[in-house]
Structure 1
Amino acid sequence: MPRPTDTIVQELADAARASGRLGIDTEFVGEGRYRPLLCLAQVAVDTPSGGVRIELLDPIEDEFDPTPLAEVLADPEVEIVLHAARQDVALLKRTWSTDVRNVFDTQVAAGFAGLRAQMGYDALLREVLRVKLQKSASFTRWEQRPLSEEQRRYAAEDVQHLLQLAVALQNRLVDLGRLDWAIEECRPLEDVRDSREPTDLFPRLPRVDRLDPGQRAVAFSLLVWREETAAQVDRPPSTVLQDQTLVELAKRRPTSRDRLKQIRGLSEATLHRRGDSLLEAIARGREAEPIPVTIERPPRTDPADPALVVLAETLVRTRAEEEHLAYELLASRSDLQRIITSWRDGREDDGIRTLQGWRGQLVGGDVLDLLEGRASLRVADGRVAVDR
């Protein structure tokens, strides 16, 4: 006999496939843990009568198999609607062992619909649907059970109007001819994750590039040890070993407990509980292949670059204002500096987002024309205008 929650999960999955979309949000706790703990998944699906069915799935209190919904999340034929989706997508991917495809992020969409970038869900509902939420339980302990009625009401509100909001934004975007832009901008959300790979974390260690290759091998071994230990005890890695202490251990490479005691930042409790395993990690690093320092030459700059960045930024802001787009969607100062550097060097940089896709069509070509002298800026009636 299937458990009641399993039946609900299957019904939600069936409804999502029938309508072609599913709204979802999560409540989680990240403080004091190695990685965030999923505490609640709020799901909204369309009903045949034109309404919305909302269910709160509780992985802490109820045991259920998320597979039917996980398969829906990974189905590119079903639109997955979220708001500020990055953390939710990463958490669901890890917790439910799935991919998340065909994401429509209402926060991203708002920026293309003439609204502010990074607009909060409450503000967006008020602006688009004239709906005001109560939102009285935002700072509660979501991992504690039982949940109060206030918490459950708060959680349900997060998806109650989500599908309706998505439709309203999509209608606006169709009228503006920008729905494809928003969908393109949401696509990278499919690749987000919250895994902590040592190879990704290693370059971020403070002053790790100042260590010699042998010391760097020890630092990497210690980093792997710290991640494994933190995962086992479900605590933030910094509570196991601080970055600065890790690098100092790699620099000195102590071989005994007495030498460990000389390292600043190692508490007596850490020495007592983990001294031996620390020494073993250091020993493994000593025996490992040295890790050479890869020196990346900074891009060539010119004294004229800051002025060119300001000019390019002015052009981008002008275009954003003309198109009623959030400026942040188009370019950052680092994007513009990369454009200027590659232009000055006479090379193409395929990694600059402002020159790709819809951004390239809307403003990227104008920035290059400005640098080449084919476009200019002038002030007319107190506003900036672009001349060609």
Structure 2
Amino acid sequence: MSHIWCESTEAVRQWQQQLPPGCPLYLDTEFMRERTFWPKLALVQVHDGQSIRLIDTPQVDAAAMSPLFADHTLVMHACSEDLEAIAAFSGAYPAAIEDTQIAAALSGEDMQLGYQKIVQMLLGVELPKGATRTNWLKRPLSDEQLHYAEDDVKYLPEVTAILRERLDTLGRRHWWQEECQRLLDQARRPSLPEKAWRQVKGAAYLQGQSLAVLAELAAWRDAMARQRDLPKSFVVKDAQLLELANSRRQDRGALADAGLHPKVIRRDGDTLLSLMARGREQTPPAPLPGPPDARQKKLAKALRGRVAHIAADLNLKPDVLMRRRWLEALIRHPDRIPEPLTGWRQSLVTDALLEML
């Protein structure tokens, strides 16, 4: 199957008019994000069940693409980053998704099974990986890139059909629907500036006013990264934020000692010092949970054993049923069940673990 190259808004619109209403679209994306905050969508590959189109998104009006994302279920593999790229391009997340990596995990495969691996496993086809890290924004694309992009969706309908049949046989189709909706809901959930500090590496070691200062600095950095379209580390690095949060000085020397570049100090120095001063006057947020104590470690070991037993009975990998952070959260606060442990997991594993707490 050879692809159709779409490099105009009109070509995309004409194709959309031919699509059956509500038909699933098997989709993948290529984007670049090495030096930007927002992913730059470079290519969308779509298999509509009959033909494959490679859409040159830099040449296409985003509004023309919106109906594809709003009116059809998008079937993708390991799509969390694709969702972000689609939203950055079109301004909205898809209306509905089906993720074949999740489907594979719910049918008994590894949680992080890659697309090349699953195609080889289910269809016996070996896919090359050579174009994965190439520049997808550079034109013209090479033959290697075009073949790679086509392969990314060529086998997706067959893979999806096999996995759907497996899930139906196991009675787990509704698990898949729930997990895909959970992934989409998580992607749509806006990040809160006041919680940006929780993503700073090393934040767990801070408390008191240092944590309040970090919260001010991290919220500002997050806003600047978005506004300037730069990776957060290009604005201020995590280690530098921690140095500033712990500093008791209130002068530009403190900024230099933290390792900030002179250009950053000239541009943002006054703002950073003001944020540090304001943070020292704020009520600190509750610190991140520390490492589990001896009792919690012993309990976690027992709970993991129970999860492993349940997973074996269901022919699932244990991390499909339970992630480490969910387990630790459940141990700390049994009265506040993590959202992923509700739904289909509730009766299978959550209730059994609650009986042990």
TM range (shorter): 0.7 to 0.9
Corresponding position of 1:45: 48
Please tell me whether residue 170 in structure 1 is matched to residue 164 in structure 2.
yes
Please tell me whether residue 349 in structure 1 is matched to residue 336 in structure 2.
yes
SS state of the match for residue 38, structure 1? strand
SS state of the match for residue 112, structure 2? coil
Tell me the TM-score normalised to structure 2 length.
0.83
Q: Following TM superposition, by how much is the alpha carbon of 1:307 offset from its aligned partner in structure 2, in angstroms? A: 3.5
CA contact (8 A) 1:212 1:292 kept: yes
Corresponding position of 1:142: 136
Name stretches of at least 5 consecutive residues in structure 1 with no aligned partner.
47-51, 373-388
Relative distance call for 1:36 and 1:196 in structure 2 (3 A) is farther
Distance 1:114 1:104 in 2: 17
Q: Following TM superposition, by how much is the alpha carbon of 1:108 offset from its aligned partner in structure 2, in angstroms? A: 0.3
CA contact (8 A) 2:36 2:231 kept: yes
Distance 1:297 1:245 in 2: 19
Q: Which amino acid aligns with 2:31?
A: F
Matched ranges for 1:21-32 at <5 A:
21-32=24-35
CA contact (8 A) 2:42 2:57 kept: yes
Distance 1:221 1:366 in 2: 41
Please tell me whether residue 239 in structure 1 is matched to residue 228 in structure 2.
no
State the identity %.
28
Q: Radius of gyration: which is bigger?
A: 1
Question: Normalized per residue, which structure has more helix?
Answer: 2
SS state of the match for residue 57, structure 2? coil
SS state of the match for residue 55, structure 1? strand
C-alpha RMSD over aligned residues: 3.3
Distance 2:77 2:216 in 1: 38
Corresponding position of 1:133: 127
Please tell me whether residue 73 in structure 1 is matched to residue 76 in structure 2.
no
Q: Which amino acid aligns with 2:63?
A: T
Please tell me whether residue 5 in structure 1 is matched to residue 8 in structure 2.
yes
Relative distance call for 1:111 and 1:12 in structure 2 (3 A) is farther
Please tell me whether residue 306 in structure 1 is matched to residue 297 in structure 2.
yes
CA contact (8 A) 2:244 2:276 kept: no
Name stretches of at least 5 consecutive residues in structure 2 with no aligned partner.
1-5
CA contact (8 A) 2:9 2:61 kept: yes
Relative distance call for 1:16 and 1:130 in structure 2 (3 A) is farther
* Number of corresponding residues: 348
Superposed CA offset, 1:98-129 (max 9, x none): 12122100000001122222111011112222
Distance 1:226 1:301 in 2: 30
Matched ranges for 1:263-278 at <5 A:
263-271=257-265, 275-278=266-269
Q: Which amino acid aligns with 1:320?
A: A
Q: Following TM superposition, by how much is the alpha carbon of 1:216 offset from its aligned partner in structure 2, in angstroms? A: 3.6
Distance 2:212 2:353 in 1: 42
Tell me the TM-score normalised to structure 1 length.
0.77
CA contact (8 A) 1:16 1:22 kept: no
Distance 2:267 2:62 in 1: 40
Corresponding position of 1:158: 152
Please tell me whether residue 118 in structure 1 is matched to residue 112 in structure 2.
yes
